[in-house]
């Protein structure tokens, strides 16, 4: 297990839900964190929550369905002039549940792909090359175990694309100190997971930190399950 103290992590969608748990878990281990939400204001609660940890905290913002805003978000991170060691591509949207699963609109398909996949690709393409140069990096792409639910087809298919993208990038990272993996957080009570989810959001820790803590020759292109991962911190 590696030491995260003084490393820098960008966690998209950390203004609430699972991302908020992840930044707090990282901060507890001494990792500096970059909080992200759609707006600057939406990061406020998380930044307050992080006040008790003696780490550096930053806030960046942008709507991930908008290419210009994704590029601007990347600029905001680059302008911090810090090395990005860890990237959690956590933010995602789930399109509405369609009882009639033949009724998903093209707009819903596009939104899912833009936020959940295209933005992830842009963030990977901006931050992985410098990680390779630095000889260190951890990328964790949030996926889901959703299956057999055509009522949520755009969301399910976008997560399948996340898995495929992760596996394909992983091949290019063999022999580098950079590792990319997927993480299924489990079904958790968040705005996205809903009130009837199996677990409270806090249950995502400490398992969600496992793929950030792996050694340089650790798993690459693999699947992690936060709920089922035993971790002694
Ligand atoms: N909860 C579950 O049961 C569950 C199960 C499997 C997988 N997952 C995955 O876990 C990850 C986190 O889910 P969650 O349950 O924590 O979701 P959530 O509670 O809905 O939180 C979503 C986060 O993403 C940000 N976000 C939403 N739409 C965005 C957009 N268009 N552009 C930029 N940022 C946006 C939100 O920022 P604002 O606060 O500014 O809106 C917020 O920080 C997702 O990848 C999800 O697919 C969750």
Q: How far is CA 14 from the centre of its chain?
A: 9
Q: pTM above 0.95?
A: yes
Residue written as tokens 């600029």?
A: 75
User: What's the CATH code of the domain at 16?
Assistant: 3.40.50.720
The CA 126 to ligand 1 mean position distance, Å, reads 21
Asked whether residue 2 is domain-assigned, the answer is: no
Which one, of 175, 7, 207, lies nearest residue 87 by Cα?
Answer: 7
The CA 129 to ligand 1 mean position distance, Å, reads 26
What's residue 230's pLDDT? 82
Q: Is the pLDDT of residue 233 over 90?
A: no
Atom of ligand 1 nearest to the CA of 39: 40
Instruction: Give pLDDT tens digits for 48-80.
Output: 999 999 999 999 999 999 999 999 999 999 999
Q: Is 18 in the pocket of ligand 1 (CB under 6 A)?
A: yes
Which one, of 154, 158, 156, lies nearest residue 105 by Cα?
Answer: 154
Asked whether residue 198 is domain-assigned, the answer is: yes
Describe the crossing of helices 119-134 and 67-78 by its angle, rounded to 10 degrees: 20
Asked whether residue 232 is domain-assigned, the answer is: no
What CA–CA distance (Å, rounded) separates 135 from 30? Answer: 21
Instruction: Give pLDDT tens digits for 101-153.
Output: 999 999 999 999 999 999 999 999 999 999 999 999 999 999 999 999 999 99
Asked whether residue 103 is domain-assigned, the answer is: yes
Asked whether residue 231 is domain-assigned, the answer is: no
Q: Is 63 in the pocket of ligand 1 (CB under 6 A)?
A: yes
Q: Is the pLDDT of residue 229 over 90?
A: no
Mean pLDDT, residues 199-203 taken together: 98
Asked whether residue 62 is domain-assigned, the answer is: yes
- Contact between 8 and 32 under an 8 Å Cβ cutoff? The reply is yes
Asked whether residue 230 is domain-assigned, the answer is: no
- Within 8 A by CB and 6+ apart from 71, the residues are 122
Q: Is 142 in the pocket of ligand 1 (CB under 6 A)?
A: yes
Instruction: Give pLDDT tens digits for 3-18.
Output: 999 999 999 999 999 9
What's residue 40's pLDDT? 97
Q: Is 225 in the pocket of ligand 1 (CB under 6 A)?
A: no
- Contact between 13 and 90 under an 8 Å Cβ cutoff? The reply is yes
Asked whether residue 233 is domain-assigned, the answer is: no
Ligand 1, atom 7, residue with closest C-alpha: 144
**Count of CA atoms in the C-beta half-sphere (13 A) of 127:** 36
Domain count, the chain: 1
Q: Which of 91, 156, 181 to mutate for ligand 1's pocket (most ligand atoms within 8 Å of CB)?
A: 91
The CA 165 to ligand 1 mean position distance, Å, reads 19
Binned at pLDDT 50, 70 and 90, residue 228 comes out as confident
What's residue 232's pLDDT? 83
What CA–CA distance (Å, rounded) separates 15 from 124? Answer: 20
Instruction: Give pLDDT tens digits for 153-198.
Output: 999 999 999 999 999 999 999 999 999 999 999 999 999 999 999 9
- Containing domain of residue 176, as a range? 8-225
The CA 17 to ligand 1 mean position distance, Å, reads 7
Q: Which of 183, 192, 201, 226 to mutate for ligand 1's pocket (most ligand atoms within 8 Å of CB)?
A: 192
Instruction: Give pLDDT tens digits for 81-103.
Output: 999 999 999 999 999 999 999 99
Ligand 1, atom 42, residue with closest C-alpha: 13
């Amino acid at each position: 297990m590696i030491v995260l103290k003084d490393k820098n992590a960008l966690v998209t969608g950390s203004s609430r839900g699972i991302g908020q748990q992840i930044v707090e878990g990282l901060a507890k281990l001494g990792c500096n964190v970059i909080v992200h939400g759609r707006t600057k204001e939406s990061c406020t609660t998380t930044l307050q929550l992080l006040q008790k940890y003696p780490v550096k905290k930053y806030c960046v913002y942008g709507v991930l369905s908008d290419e210009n805003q994704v590029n601007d978000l990347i600029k905001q991170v680059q302008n911090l002039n810090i090395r990005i060691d860890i990237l959690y591509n956590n933010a995602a949207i789930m399109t509405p549940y369609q009882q009639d699963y033949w009724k998903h609109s093209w707009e819903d398909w596009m939104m899912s792909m833009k936020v959940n996949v295209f933005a992830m690709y842009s963030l990977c393409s901006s931050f992985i090359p410098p990680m390779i140069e630095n000889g260190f990096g951890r990328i964790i792409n949030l996926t889901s175990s959703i299956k057999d639910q055509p009522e949520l087809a755009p969301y399910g298919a976008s997560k399948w694309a996340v898995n495929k993208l992760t596996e394909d990038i992983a091949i290019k990272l063999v022999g580098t100190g950079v590792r990319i993996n997927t993480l299924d957080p489990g079904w958790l009570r968040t705005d996205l997971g809903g009130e009837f989810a199996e677990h409270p959001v806090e249950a995502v820790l400490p398992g969600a930190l496992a793929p950030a803590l792996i050694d340089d020759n650790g798993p690459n292109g693999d699947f992690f399950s936060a709920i089922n991962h035993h971790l002694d911190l």
